[in-house]
Amino acid sequence: MLKTNAGRFFEDYTIGDVIHHAVPRTVSRGERALYHALYPARHALYSSDEFARASGLPESPLDDLAAFHVVFGKSVPDISLNAVANLGYAEGRWLKPVYAGDTLRSVSEVIGLKQNSSGKTGVVYVRTSGINQNDEPVMQFVRWVMVRKRDENAPAPETVVPELKGTLEIADLLIPEGLDFGKYDIALSGEPHRWGDYQIGEKIDHVDGVTIEEAEHMMATRLWQNTAKVHFDATHRDDGQRLIYGGHVISMARALSFNGLANAQMIIGLNGGAHANPCFSGDTVRAWSEVLDKADTNTPSVGAVRLRLVAYKSDAVFQLKQENGKYMPQVLLDLDYWVVMPK
């Protein structure tokens, strides 16, 4: 009997399958400190317990993206070990802040299957949920990946493509219970710009850049127990390069966006995202944002802003795509998400 996990192939997924991913994880202030060492993260709500308390929370939560990475990382051995490509995200919702001492596990349901015309691969859609020690969901997202077939002659399953919202509406999203920006201190948060100061269509260049190192992206990726070999084994790819976990670029870009979006405190929704080009050690990552939409919430002191976050390397380009519709070669990430801001 083979003891090691070779990962699942396209034939191994069935619509409605519920996969309980392995290795629950208790997070602590150690993970919080490491997040601050690995990314230039400065949003005050995640840096200061006092600031979090003044905002109606019991203490600083784990960064929303760290919670995402933990939940995502657990799904890798069952969903994307044999993935050819991570094709997209949709309907990401943060449902409950994660605090030191919480234990997270992940569960995915197979909600879509579509064999590709080549007959060699297929697309698998899963809805993945992160669940805490009280069996409460803390976040949820859909992703779809292209997976190899084990046997090219295996019959194609019935095609099921889930209906997914291209953009979540504010009514789909949850404002964390108790969150209140009524006493928000802009001297402590770092910038004066509130919800009312941002205009739809506005673009913000986040100025700073960070040159990526192998040791850092591997430590980050391991911390979320994401063990996909392409991130760690320099002999795996023909070019001898380790592919950087896309989530590392997301966290880097989000942290860089502090400069101009210091008051975009909490992420509450993920509409979609594309890892436009691969990122490698030595690349210098920069970011810009565009305000895509704004909305009121049912909490008077809290407004919601929908943002595009673009990470790119080397030269600044506000241009996203080429004439042929493909992303510019400098673009690493194109993310569409909802945040909350003080009004």
Using CB under 8 A as the binding rule, the residues of this chain from 71 to 90 that contact its own copies are: 77
Cβ density class 219-232: b for 16+ within 10 Å, e for less: ebbebbbbebeebb
- Residue 110 tokens read as 């197979």
Of the candidate spans 31-39, 118-126, 147-155, 333-341, the one that interacts with its own copies by CB under 8 A turns out to be 31-39
Task: Based on the shown chain and the rule CB under 8 A, indicate whether residue 51 belongs to the binding site for its own copies.
Answer: yes
24 touching its own copies, by CB under 8 A: yes
Structure tokens, 71: 């939940």
Decide if residue 207 touches its own copies (CB under 8 A). Answer: yes
Q: 29 by DSSP, 3-state: which? A: helix
Residues 6+ away with beta carbon under 8 Å from 159:
113, 114, 115
> 255: helix, coil or strand?
helix
- Give the residue, chosen from 172, 208, 290, 293, that forms a contact with its own copies under the rule CB under 8 A: 208
152 binds its own copies (CB under 8 A): no
Q: Which residue in 61, 112, 246, 260 binds its own copies (CB under 8 A)?
A: 260
Asked if residue 296 binds its own copies (CB under 8 A), the reply is no
Q: Does 105 engage in binding with its own copies (CB under 8 A)? A: yes
DSSP tag of 183? T
- Alpha-carbon distance 127 to 140, whole Å? 7
Of 158 and 239, the one with the shorter C-beta distance to its own copies is 239
- Which residues does residue 294 pair with via DSSP β-bridges, in sequence order? 305
Check residue 322 for interaction with its own copies (CB under 8 A).
no
- Complex with its own copies: residue 199 or 298, whichever CB lies closer: 199
Question: What is the rounded distance in angstroms from the CA atom of residue 34 to the CA atom of residue 39?
Answer: 9
Q: Which is nearer to its own copies, 224 or 327 (CB)?
A: 224
CB of 153 to its own copies, least distance (A): 26
Q: How far apart are CA 46 and CA 62, in angstroms?
A: 7
Among 118, 187, 298, 324, binds its own copies (CB under 8 A): 187
Q: Is residue 319 involved in binding its own copies (CB under 8 A)?
A: no
Q: Which of 9, 11, 13, 25 is close enough to bind its own copies by CB under 8 A?
A: 25
Least separation in angstroms between CB 56 and its own copies: 17
Angle of CA points 283, 285, 291, to nearest 5°: 155
Of 14, 153, 235, 324, the one binding its own copies by CB under 8 A: 235
Assign 113 to helix, strand or coil. Answer: strand
Is 188 an interacting residue with respect to its own copies (CB under 8 A)?
A: yes
Residue 241 contacts its own copies per CB under 8 A: no
Structure tokens at 66: 């760290």
Range in contact with its own copies (rule: CB under 8 A) among 15-23, 85-93, 163-171, 325-333? 15-23
CB of 61 to its own copies, least distance (A): 12
Q: How far is CA 287 from the centre of its chain?
A: 15
Q: Is 101 an interacting residue with respect to its own copies (CB under 8 A)? A: yes
Whole-angstrom distance, CA of residue 60 vs CA of residue 334? 28
> Largest Cα–Cα distance in the chain?
64
